[in-house]
Amino acid sequence: MVDYNNPNLLVTPNKVRSGKIEWRSPSNIALIKYWGKYGQQLPCNPSISFTLDAAYTETTLEYGPKMTDKPGVSVDFLFHNQHNKPFADKIERYLTSLLPIYPFLSQIELTIFSSNSFPHSAGIASSAAAMSALALCLCSLEDELFGTLSDDKQFDQKASYLARLGSGSACRSIYSKAAIWGETQEAQESSDLYAVGWGHHLHPIFATFHDDILIISKEEKGVSSTAGHKLMDDNPYSETRYMTVQGRMKQMLAALKAGDIELFGDILEKEAYSLHGLMMLSNPPYLLLRPGTVSVIEKVHEFRRTNKIPLYFTLDAGPNVHLLYPDLHKEVVQAFIKNELLRYCSEGSYIPDKVGNGPKQL
Ligand code: DP6
């Protein structure tokens, strides 16, 4: 069992040099969903995701000696070069929660600049990209100050662990192409504490898969993912969910290894329906789907039936639709999106994305 708490990670305050660290980290799309958590951000079931490419956060962390004797974490946070109080408070709370792991964070001064490749108002979940980018910066900072994370595998594992503490799904963004988070017999070394890379197991057809994100609504969600996870605690169907998801995980991994797109698509869509079904069965129930979401789903089914092209959808905890399909069908699918689906999108917006190679230090 890993224990990253380390009271020895302290600096000699007047010896800290100033420096700057920068990471770009992508979002990810869950194929098997993490929905329900316990303890300190631990998942009630294993999940697997594709790492994305075009939807990412870039984070710059500037550090230097602390000029004040204010106790605790001293951090300034700018989002798209502007001060943003709610985000700054969230980051300060997150860094404070990491003090048992990184006690040196109270000995230095930090300025964090963060920006997304997609508009914040696009209504797409950005916490995975944002928290993974920040966690990677923190691990680079540890390595710079103490030289303790030179091993790539250990670096990734710790970055994934720290990202998880910021937002569960963020722990999967650390890895190229695909990642599994949560203990499962199906994946060696899998853990509830951090994600493990799984991209090397993908059949080549999936390594170049597309995920085009249709922005159905840019409005802030009525119920956040964090609140949604909480509602799973009293959901009368949660036990059934945790039982069925194990079998789905097994089938999904088999499909991803074998290149079985039909099985992949079947499980993918069942997961999207299950996630939103669980929301509708929560107490109180809620609905994040919008009329446009339903219209797109119907159109996708019709397109698949008539054209015999494997185009499948999934949803995260919101109304936007992710369309997944193999690279060899990109012309015809993208024409279909432009001609038939953009009319359901808010201001015709969508983000063409695909499976990506994971974070990059800049
Ligand atoms: C539906 O990771 O956003 O996208 O851990 O509370 O930050 P917190 O929640 P978050 O939940 C993501 C839920 C999901 C499914 C998934 O990504 O696996």
Query: What does the pLDDT look like over 324-346, one tens digit per residue?
Result: 999 999 999 999 999 999 999 99
Query: Is 155's C-beta closer than 6 angstroms to any atom of ligand 1?
Result: no
Which of ligand 1's atoms lies nearest the C-alpha of 275? 1
Query: Is 279's C-beta closer than 6 angstroms to any atom of ligand 1?
Result: no
Query: Is 276's C-beta closer than 6 angstroms to any atom of ligand 1?
Result: no
Hey, what CATH topology would domain 13-202 get?
Ribosomal Protein S5; domain 2 (3.30.230)
**Residue 137 falls in which region: left (phi positive, over 0), alpha (psi -120 to 50) or beta:** alpha
The two three-digit tokens of residue 145, written as one number: 């100050």
Domain locations in the chain as residue ranges: 13-202, 204-351
pLDDT score, position 263: 98
pLDDT score, position 62: 98
Mean pLDDT across the chain, nearest whole number? Answer: 95
Q: How many Å apart are CA 35 and CA 266, to the nearest integer?
A: 19
pLDDT > 70 fraction of the chain, expressed in percent and rounded: 98
Which of ligand 1's atoms lies nearest the C-alpha of 170? 2
Give the length of the chain: 362
Which of ligand 1's atoms lies nearest the C-alpha of 181? 18
When pLDDT is averaged across residues 244-258 and rounded to a whole number, the result is: 97
pTM score:
0.96
CATH 3.30.470.30 describes domain 204-351: no
Query: Is 172's C-beta closer than 6 angstroms to any atom of ligand 1?
Result: no
pLDDT score, position 123: 58
- Would you say 47 and 183 are in contact if contact means Cβ atoms under 8 Å apart? no
Residue in 223, 214, 208, 311 with CA at minimum distance from that of residue 268: 311
- Is the pLDDT score of 145 beyond 70? yes
Which of ligand 1's atoms lies nearest the C-alpha of 131? 7
In 3-state terms, what secondary structure has residue 144? helix
Which of 48-52, 59-63, 119-123 shows the lowest per-residue confidence on average (mean pLDDT)? 119-123
Which of 14-23, 96-105, 215-224, 289-298 shows the lowest per-residue confidence on average (mean pLDDT)? 215-224
Query: What does the pLDDT look like over 90-110, one tens digit per residue?
Result: 999 999 999 999 999 999 999
Residue nearest to atom 12 of ligand 1 (CA): 169
Residue 304 host element (H or E)? helix 291-307
